[in-house]
Amino acid sequence: MAKPKLTLQQRRRIREQRARSSSAPEKDDLLTTLLSSGQLGPEQNGLVVTRYSNQADILFESAPERPLRKCYFRSHLDSLVTGDRVRCRDGEPYGIICSVLPRKSHLERPDNRGNICTVVANIDTIAIVVAPEPQAHTGLIDRYLIASEHHQISPLIVVNKIDQDPQQVERTLNLVAPYKDIGYPVLAVSASSGKGINQLSAQLKDQMSVFVGQSGVGKSSLINTLCPHAAAKVGKLSDASASGRHTTTTADLFPLPGGGNIIDSPGIREFGLLHLEQHQLINAFIEFRPFLGQCRFRNCSHRKEPDCALLEACANGKISAQRLDSFFRISESLKND
Ligand SMILES: Nc1nc2c(ncn2[C@@H]2O[C@H](COP(=O)(O)OP(=O)(O)OP(=O)(O)O)[C@@H](O)[C@H]2O)c(=O)[nH]1
Ligand SMILES: [Mg+2]
Ligand SMILES: [Zn+2]
């Protein structure tokens, strides 16, 4: 990342600071300079729009229409992520972040080394975006729903690209129909034609939402339709599937014109599932709940035991074989992780 341009005076102060404490890292020097400049405004509330290594783009809550301000933060605030609410002081050309307000929710995923790290904070709604192309998979939808349930964040299933081939669209709508039956909200939309966008916009109003889903389903395209000034990067489907990479590479926040914010986030595929216990996993299948604890054996595996309440519910059509199968598969995959 390019370093910020400093005035001569700021450079001189930094050199002086360094001479005094040769071990002090450069970013803290810059922060000290900003603090001692006497030009910072009073503390106020802000929202992290994009996080960089030692700075973040901040939206000041008192002036949401104003351009974003780059603000620096000290290393003790290193866990800062998109969606965090902060106390910050405005300044020209840079402000500073003083502290992070408590999070009401957060989502995590493993980094390249397998360490769990938080990727977004303060989420009210997880919009699970699927499409006829690339083809939707129930296994992935189930994983996102489990994460939503576990973190107590409302999920919303969004079927995008309903302008595509009607047969493929119908297949996708049939695929998500069982989720509607369980009680999950499902919306059918098209970022291209604008169909259903008003309903989606109404559903997301005043919420902090994160859009998740396979690369190429149209998350960024939907955000560009919902937030006219967003200019989120949109990729060609073939590029995304060929490279296996997401076009969107950082978690970015976009304010909704009518209130609320959407976070466009890449690769939150596995969030939150890594440290789930088996009982937490099965509880995340909400339609299983009435039958839990009703099996003859306390340690029932729900696979072949007699008087298994889940198998009976499945045989009676009260829960779907597909969801039960999905539970088994995800349960096995978590054991192997
Ligand atoms: N026909 C049609 N194509 C769409 C629609 N929405 C998006 N697309 C196309 O789908 C492709 C992928 O769109 P993106 O918005 O980049 O998808 P994404 O989900 O953000 O992908 P990543 O950032 O890689 O995770 C682009 O070629 C879009 O033009 C839609 O409603 N209908
Ligand atoms: Mg994208
Ligand atoms: Zn059982």
- Tell me what pLDDT residue 29 has: 74
With respect to residue 273, please indicate whether it lies within any of the assigned structural domains.
Answer: no
Select from 264, 292, 319 the last residue of a domain: 264
32 CB within 6 A, ligand 1: no
- Tell me what pLDDT residue 24 has: 43
237 CB within 6 A, ligand 1: yes
Same domain, 62 and 184: no
Say how far apart CA 290 and CA 292 lie, in whole Å: 6
Same domain, 71 and 218: no
Same domain, 76 and 28: yes
* Reported pTM: 0.86
Phi first, then psi, for residue 14 (nearest 5°) are -65, -40
218 CB within 6 A, ligand 1: yes
Residues of the chain predicted below pLDDT 50: 1, 22-24, 240-244
Sheet holding 186-188, edge to edge: 186-188, 154-159, 125-130, 208-212, 261-264, 252-255
Residues lying with their CB under 5 A of ligand 3, a single-atom ion: 295, 300, 302, 308, 310
Range of the domain at 214: 106-264
Same domain, 19 and 68: yes
- Tell me what pLDDT residue 336 has: 61
Same domain, 131 and 241: yes
- Tell me what pLDDT residue 159 has: 98
Are 118 and 128 contacting, i.e. CB atoms less than 8 angstroms apart? no
Q: What is the CATH number of the domain that holds 326?
A: 1.10.40.50
* Beta bridge pairs of residue 158: 129, 187
Question: What's the gap in Å between 243 CA and the centre of ligand 2?
Answer: 14
The helix/strand/coil state of 301 is coil
- Tell me what pLDDT residue 334 has: 80
Report residue 294 as tokens. 């009703």
- Tell me what pLDDT residue 1 has: 46
Rounded to whole angstroms, what are the CA distances from 116 to 8, 40, 263, 272, 274?
41, 35, 20, 9, 9
Residue from 283, 282, 285, 279 nearest 182 by CA: 285
Q: What is the CATH number of the domain that holds 116?
A: 3.40.50.300
Same domain, 75 and 146: no
Say how far apart CA 51 and CA 263 lie, in whole Å: 12
Same domain, 143 and 157: yes
Question: What's the gap in Å between 247 CA and the centre of ligand 2?
Answer: 5
Same domain, 173 and 224: yes
- Tell me what pLDDT residue 115 has: 77
Select from 69, 100, 131 the last residue of a domain: 100
Q: What share of the chain is helix, strand, coil (3-state, %, to 5)?
A: 35, 20, 45
- Which ligand gives the minimal distance to the CA of 328? 3
Same domain, 252 and 310: no
Structural domains in the chain (count): 3
Query: Which H, E and C letters describe 62-86, residue by residue?
Result: CCCCCCCEEEECCHHHCCCCECCEE
Select from 264, 294, 315 the last residue of a domain: 264
Residue of the CA atom closest to atom 16 of ligand 1:
234
Same domain, 138 and 82: no
Nearest atom, ligand 1, residue 234 CA: 16
With respect to residue 269, please indicate whether it lies within any of the assigned structural domains.
Answer: no
Q: What is the CATH number of the domain that holds 55?
A: 2.40.50.140
Same domain, 65 and 203: no
Residue from 212, 157, 209 nearest 180 by CA: 157
CA 288, 291, 297, 301: dihedral to nearest 10 degrees? -10
Burial code of 264-294, b = ≥16 C-beta within 10 A, e = fewer?
Answer: bbbebbebbbeebeeeebbbbbebbeebeee
Q: Is the dihedral of CA 272, 276, 282, 286 positive or negative?
A: negative
190 CB within 6 A, ligand 1: yes
- Tell me what pLDDT residue 271 has: 58
With respect to residue 258, please indicate whether it lies within any of the assigned structural domains.
Answer: yes
Same domain, 158 and 123: yes
